[in-house]
Amino acid sequence: MSETAKISIEGKEFELPVITGSEGEKAIDISKLRSLSGYITIDPGFKNTGATTSGITFLDGELGILRHRGYDIEDLAANCSFLEVSYLILNGELPTAEELKAFETNISEHTLVNEGMEAMFKAFPTGSHPMGQLSSMISSLSLYYPKALNPNRPEESIQRTIIRLMAKMPTICAMIYKKSKGHPLVYPNNSLDYVTNYLNMSFGQVSDPNYKPDPVVVEAMNKLLILHADHEQNCSASTVRVVGSSQSNLYSSIAAGISALWGPLHGGANQEVLEMLEAIKNDGGDVQKYINKAKDKNDPFRLMGFGHRVYKNFDPRAKIIKKSADDVLAKLGVNDPILEIAKGLEVAALNDPYFVEKKLFPNVDFYSGIIYRALGFPTEFFTVLFALGRLPGWISQWQEMRRDKQPIARPRQIYTGAAPREFVPLNKR
C-alpha cells in the first residue's frame, strides 16, 4: 500500500498521499486538503513547498550535491561542451557524437536575428541596463515568430522555437554588449563553436577578421555556462513555469525568467558582489568592517554572494568556480586585488559564528564575477552571462511543465484586510 500522512485538524483526521522522489525525498500531497478540510497551507517564499515533481535536476543542499539528469555537475563541467550539457538538460540523455553534431549544426543555422531588431537599440536610452534590454529583445522575438503564440502547435514547431532561442540568445547578448560600446556589430560566424562564436561576436572587431579568442577564455566561458545551466525550481525557473502555465509563449516566458533573474537576491547578485568587493577595496580593504555591517540587524547591508535558499553546507558550483578563478587569472596573467579581498572575506565569514550558525557560504555568484571581469566583461553585464548559461534550464523547465500538463499556477491566500463595510460616497468622506 502506498504511504500516506495523517493530518489532524480540529479533532478530525485527514489522510493525504505521500510522494517519494527517486532520491528518497518525501512530500505530502496537499492538493486536495482544502476540498477535504477547508484549510489551505501557507508558505511565503515557498520555503517548504514543492511546486512540481521534476526529472531534470537533483540537488541536495545539505550534502552540496548537484546533478543534471543523474550526472554530477563536477563531471559535466570537467568533460563537456556547453551545448552537450544543454542537449542533456533539454532531452534527458547525453548526446551521441552524431546527435551533438546535428544539434550544433541546427543551432548554427539559426543564429541571425531579424535586422529590424537593431532598431530597438535606438529606442533604449544610453546606459540602459543590459538585463532590461535582454528581456525586451527576447520578448520581441515572439513578434517576429508569431506561430510560437499558438499553445497547441505541433512538437516539431516547438522544437524549432527552442533551437531559435538557443541560437539567437548569444547573438542578442553580443549585440547588447557591442551597442553599449558604440561599436559596429560582428555577425555570427557559423563555422565557429557556440562559445567561440559568442566571444567572437562580443570581442572580435569588424575590422579584424583574424581575431581569435584565447583558448583559456573559451574554456573558462564554457565552464561558467555549464555551471549555470539549470538549478531546479529557483526564482527564475519558477517564474518561467508560472508564466508558461497560462500558455503564454516560450519567448515571453523566458523574458519573464530573465526579469526574475535580474534581481540582486538572485542572478543580479554577481554584479552586486563585484560592486561590493570594489567598495571594500576603495574603503581601504577592511574586510572585518563589512562582516560586521552584514551582521548588524539595523544595517540593510548583506554580504552579497553569501547564503542560499537550498545549499546549507556549500554550493558545489562555487567550489568549481573558485578553482577556475585561480586558474584563469594565473593563465591570463591577471593580478586582481579584488580576488585577494574576496578570499579574505570568505575566510573571515567562514570563521565567524554568525555565518557558521546561519549556514551562510559563498554561492555561485561570489567568484563568477571575478572571472567575468578577467575575461573583459563590464560589471553590469555579468547577469546577462548568467542568463545565457541558464537558458537551456529555463527551456527544459517550461517543456516539462507543458508535457506534464500542469494546471495554471494560481496560489491561494489568507485575506487579512478590512472586514465588509458600508460604502461612503466621495462628498461624505
Q: How far is the CB of 231 from ligand ACO (least distance, A)?
A: 7
> Is 393 near ligand ACO (CB under 6 A)?
no
Q: In terms of CB distance, is 63 or 265 closer to ligand ACO?
A: 265
Hey, CA dihedral for 190, 193, 198, 202, is it positive or negative? negative
Q: Kindly write out the interface string for residues 18-47 of this chain, putting x where it contacts ligand ACO by CB under 6 A and - elsewhere.
A: ---------------------------x--
β-partners of residue 208 are: 205
Query: CA-CA distance, 274 to 336, in Å (whole number)?
Result: 12
Q: How far is the CB of 240 from ligand ACO (least distance, A)?
A: 14
Quick one: which of 168, 308, 322, 373 contacts ligand ACO (CB under 6 A)? 308
Backbone conformation region of residue 308, classed left if phi is above 0, alpha if psi is from -120 to 50, else beta: beta
Beta-strand pair 57-60/4-9:
unpaired
Quick one: which of 69, 266, 322, 390 contacts ligand ACO (CB under 6 A)? 266
Contact 382, 368 (CB under 8 A): yes
Q: How far is the CB of 354 from ligand ACO (least distance, A)?
A: 7
Among the listed residues 140, 189, 220, the one whose alpha carbon sits nearest the alpha carbon of residue 389: 220
For the segment 315-354, give every residue that binds ligand ACO (CB under 6 A): none
Known catalytic residue at 60: no
Grid cell digits, residue 52: 512540481
> Is 260 near ligand ACO (CB under 6 A)?
no
For the segment 93-122, give every residue that binds ligand ACO (CB under 6 A): none
Q: In terms of CB distance, is 118 or 299 closer to ligand ACO?
A: 299
Q: Kindly write out the interface string for residues 276-305 of this chain, putting x where it contacts ligand ACO by CB under 6 A and - elsewhere.
A: ------------------x-------xxxx
Which residue in the list 230, 315, 352, 365 is annotated as catalytic? 365
Candidates 52-60, 66-74, 167-175, 264-272 — which segment interacts with ligand ACO by CB under 6 A? 264-272
> Is 358 near ligand ACO (CB under 6 A)?
yes
Q: In terms of CB distance, is 113 or 173 closer to ligand ACO?
A: 173
Q: In terms of CB distance, is 203 or 382 closer to ligand ACO?
A: 382
Among the listed residues 210, 215, 141, 219, the one whose alpha carbon sits nearest the alpha carbon of residue 175: 141
Hey, CA dihedral for 268, 269, 273, 279, is it positive or negative? positive
Which residue in the list 68, 129, 308, 352 is annotated as catalytic? 308
Among the listed residues 51, 34, 412, 414, the one whose alpha carbon sits nearest the alpha carbon of residue 16: 34
Q: How far is the CB of 68 from ligand ACO (least distance, A)?
A: 16
Decide: residue 372, CB within 10 A, 0-12 exposed, 13-18 middle, 19+ buried: buried
Amino acid at 30: I
Decide: residue 401, CB within 10 A, 0-12 exposed, 13-18 middle, 19+ buried: buried
Candidates 182-190, 243-251, 260-268, 283-291 — which segment interacts with ligand ACO by CB under 6 A? 260-268
Query: Which residues, at least 6 apart from 135, have a Cβ–Cβ distance to it below 8 Å?
Result: 255, 256, 258, 259, 262
Our measurement of the distance from residue 30's CA atom to the centroid of its chain's CA atoms, rounded to an integer in Å, reads: 28
Question: How many other C-beta atoms can be found within 10 angstroms of the C-beta atom of residue 43?
Answer: 10
For the segment 362-391, give every residue that binds ligand ACO (CB under 6 A): 363-365
Quick one: which of 160, 281, 309, 312 contacts ligand ACO (CB under 6 A)? 309
> Is 225 near ligand ACO (CB under 6 A)?
no
Q: In terms of CB distance, is 204 or 389 closer to ligand ACO?
A: 389
Q: Which residue has the cell 564575477?
A: 369
Residues belonging to the chain? 429
Calculate helix-pair angle for 130-144, 382-403, nearest 10 degrees: 40
Quick one: which of 130, 188, 257, 307 contacts ligand ACO (CB under 6 A)? 307
Q: How far is the CB of 9 from ligand ACO (least distance, A)?
A: 28
Size of the site for ligand ACO (CB under 6 A): 19
> Is 360 near ligand ACO (CB under 6 A)?
yes
Quick one: which of 213, 257, 267, 393 contacts ligand ACO (CB under 6 A)? 267
Contact 117, 230 (CB under 8 A): no
Q: Kindly write out the interface string for residues 155-194 of this chain, putting x where it contacts ligand ACO by CB under 6 A and - elsewhere.
A: ----------------------------------------
Known catalytic residue at 308: yes
DSSP 178-221: HHHHTPPPPPP-TTS-HHHHHHHHHH-BTTBTT----HHHHHHH
For ligand ACO, the binding residues (CB under 6 A) are 45, 265-267, 269, 294, 302-309, 358, 360, 363-365
Active site residues: 308, 365
